Amino acid sequence: MEVIKWLLEGDPWVVYHTRIDLLHEDRESPQVQKAHNEIMVHENILRLIAELTSWPGEALRNHKSSGSLLHKLTFLADLGFRSDDPQIAPILQKIKSNAAEEGPFQIMVNIPKAFGGTGEDGLSWMLCDASSTLYALAEMGEVDDKSVVSAANYLAGLVRESGGWPCAASSKLGRFRGPGRKGDPCPYATLLMVKALIPFGERYSREIQLGVSTLLDLWERRRTEKPYLFAMGSGFEKLKAPLVWYDFLHVLEVLSRIEDMHQVSAMEEMVKIVREKADPTGRYRPESIWMDWRGWEFGQKKEPSRWLTFLIYRMMNRFGLD
C-alpha cells in the first residue's frame, strides 16, 4: 500500500506506530526497536523532555494553550513513551509528588478573580487538567501505582448517572466553574475522562459507558446545543494534531479505542466525514494548526502530514476499515 510506504519514510514515531498499529509487528522486532531508539534521540523529542523536567513549570492560564507542559506530556504518552523510560521516570515522579489530598494530581494554575479564582499562581487541579495528567500516567503504564489508582478512583467517582462529567475543580479554586449551566456535562472533561480511564481496562467500564453515551448524545444534538460553549460546527470538524482540544479527530481517536463503538451509526457518520477529506493518494493534510507546534510536520497546512494521516488510518483500522 503506497500510503504505508510513505508513512514508513517519516519521523521515527510515525514509523514506530505504523509498524506496531498498522502492520502489527512485534515490539521487539529489529525494525520496531530501531524506530524506538531513534525516537529517544530525536532533537524534537529531547527538547520536549528537557522542558518537562521543569514540571510543574509556569502556571497554566488556559487549557487550550497547546504549548503548555500539560499537552507536551500527553503528546509523549500518545507517542508511546513508558514510565520506565529513563528520561521519563523523573518527570512522572514529580507529577505524582504533587497529588492533592483528594487524589488528583495538581499542576501550577492561575485563575483570575473574575472567573472565581484567586488570581495567584498555585498548585491545584481542574478536571480538564487532572484527567490529562491521569491519562499520561496510565497510558505510560502506571495503572497499578497506588497514587494513580487513587486519582482515578476520585475522578471516576465524579461522573453523573445522568451522563458525563461536570466542570469540577479543587476547593482551592473557590467559586471557579466553567461557562455553562451547572447541570450540563462538560464535553471536554468528559472526553478526557473517558480517554484517561480506558488504559485501566474493565475497572471503570460503567463510568466509561456513561461518558461514551454522553459524547454520542452531544454529537446527535450538535446542531442545537453547545454546553460550556463547546460548539461542534465546521471548526470542530477540522483535522488537527496533536490531540489537544475537544475536536473531531480527538473524539474519534478516543471512541475508536472502545470495541462497542465500532457498529454505532454516529461513528459511521463521523468516519465518513473524515474519509472524504483524504486527497487522491489517501493522505491527509492538516486543516488547522496549533501555532506552538509549527516546527513539527503536522504544524503546517500546505502538505499532507504523516502523523495526522497515521492517526486517521489507525482509527479506521480499529473500525476494520482500509
Helix or strand (DSSP H, E) at 14: helix 12-17
User: For residue 310, how many C-alpha atoms fall within 13 Å in the half-sphere facing its CB?
Assistant: 30
pTM of the model: 0.94
Q: Where are the beta strands (DSSP E) in the chain?
A: 107-109, 122-124
Distance CA 197, CA 212 (A): 11
Distance CA 200, CA 180 (A): 30
Look-up of cell digits 454546553: 227
What's phi and psi for 122, nearest 5 deg?
A: -175, 155
Q: Which of 154, 164, 192, 166 is nearest to 73 (CA)?
A: 192
Distance CA 247, CA 270 (A): 12
pLDDT band at 169 (very low <50, low <70, confident <90, very high): confident
Distance CA 6, CA 163 (A): 42
Write out pLDDT tens, residues 230-254: 777 788 999 999 999 999 999 999 9
Please tell me which residue, 259 or 295, carries the higher pLDDT value: 295
Distance CA 214, CA 49 (A): 35
CB of 245 closer than 8 Å to CB of 64: yes
Distance CA 182, CA 22 (A): 42
- Parallel/antiparallel/unpaired status of strands 122-124 and 107-109: antiparallel
| CA geometry: angle 320, 10, 234, nearest 5 deg | 60
User: For residue 167, how many C-alpha atoms fall within 13 Å in the half-sphere facing its CB?
Assistant: 17
Write out pLDDT tens, residues 33-84: 999 999 999 999 999 999 999 999 999 988 999 999 999 999 999 999 999 9
Secondary structure (DSSP) of 93-137 = HHHHHTB-TTSPBPEEE---GGGTS-SS-EEE-BHHHHHHHHHHH
pLDDT, averaged across the chain: 92
